[in-house]
């Protein structure tokens, strides 16, 4: 069985990737399984750069195939923020609640017709030989003025999907996987990943 390491300690992301990869006969591990302690310093200015930084570091250290993502929320009214700083937008505590509250506070005067946003996910796969693949998926929506729903993680409770009439945090995991930014990026990666694996 081909082993792939997900370059994250985020349990929410690990669970999502596990559900996506297991049907392909992959043995999925994460940085939690490797007891990898230091945080990988994300010094890139784009999602693509940060995903590759993480994938390259873990692939080189453990000589395994690595899947890394960098994802976040881009809000038009905030000139693309929080962007690559999404996980730590309200500070290094990386609190989902604090991050959402920061966004809601900054957007309290933004009218309903100017609350467009998108979730972005860039996936980078680097194998033990250094071969690399990078894809980008997006999911368009609106930022609500309050939190709705208890599923998901990150900014899901304030990210509203007009076509479904629900936030990301109100969807089932299967619904979310089928239409999320991560789901879209994974679909783009599938065919090329077969070549790599």
By mean pLDDT, which of 5-9, 27-31, 38-42, 129-133 is the weakest?
A: 38-42
- Mean pLDDT across the chain: 90
Q: CA 135 to CA 78: how far, in whole Å? A: 25
Catalytic annotation, residues: 70
Query: Average of pLDDT values for 15-27?
Result: 81
Q: CA 159 to CA 161: how far, in whole Å? A: 7
Q: CA 164 to CA 176: how far, in whole Å? A: 11
1 has a pLDDT exceeding 80? no
The dihedral over CA atoms of 180, 183, 187, 188, expressed in degrees to the nearest 10, equals 70
Domains and CATH numbers, the chain: 3-196 (3.90.950.10)
Per-residue DSSP letter, 127? -
Backbone angles phi, psi at 19, to 5 degrees: -65, -35
Residue 42 or residue 191, greater confidence? 42
94 and 87 in contact (C-beta within 8 Å)?
yes
Query: Average of pLDDT values for 96-123?
Result: 96
**Which ranges constitute the DSSP H helices of the chain?**
11-21, 47-62, 96-106, 173-179, 181-196
Q: What is the pLDDT of residues 71-100, one digit of tens each?
A: 999 999 999 999 999 988 998 877 999 999
């Amino acid at each position: 069985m081909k082993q792939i390491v997900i370059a994250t300690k985020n349990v929410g992301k690990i669970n999502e990737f596990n559900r996506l990869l297991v049907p392909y006969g992959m043995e999925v591990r994460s940085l939690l399984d490797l007891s990898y302690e230091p945080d990988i310093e994300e010094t890139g200015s784009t999602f693509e750069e940060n995903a590759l930084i993480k994938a390259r570091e873990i692939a080189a250290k453990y000589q395994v195939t690595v899947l890394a993502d960098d994802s976040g929320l881009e809000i038009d009214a905030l000139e693309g923020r929080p962007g690559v700083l999404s996980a730590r937008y309200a500070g290094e505590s990386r609190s989902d609640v604090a991050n959402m509250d920061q966004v809601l506070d900054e957007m309290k005067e933004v009218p309903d017709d100017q609350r467009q946003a998108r979730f972005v996910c860039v996936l980078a796969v680097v194998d033990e030989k250094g071969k690399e693949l990078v894809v980008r998926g997006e999911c368009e929506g609106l930022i609500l003025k309050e939190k709705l729903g208890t599923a998901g993680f990150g900014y899901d409770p304030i990210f509203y999907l007009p076509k479904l009439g629900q936030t990301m945090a109100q969807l089932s995991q299967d619904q979310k996987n089928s239409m999320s930014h991560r789901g879209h990026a994974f679909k783009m990666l599938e065919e090329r990943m077969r070549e790599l694996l």
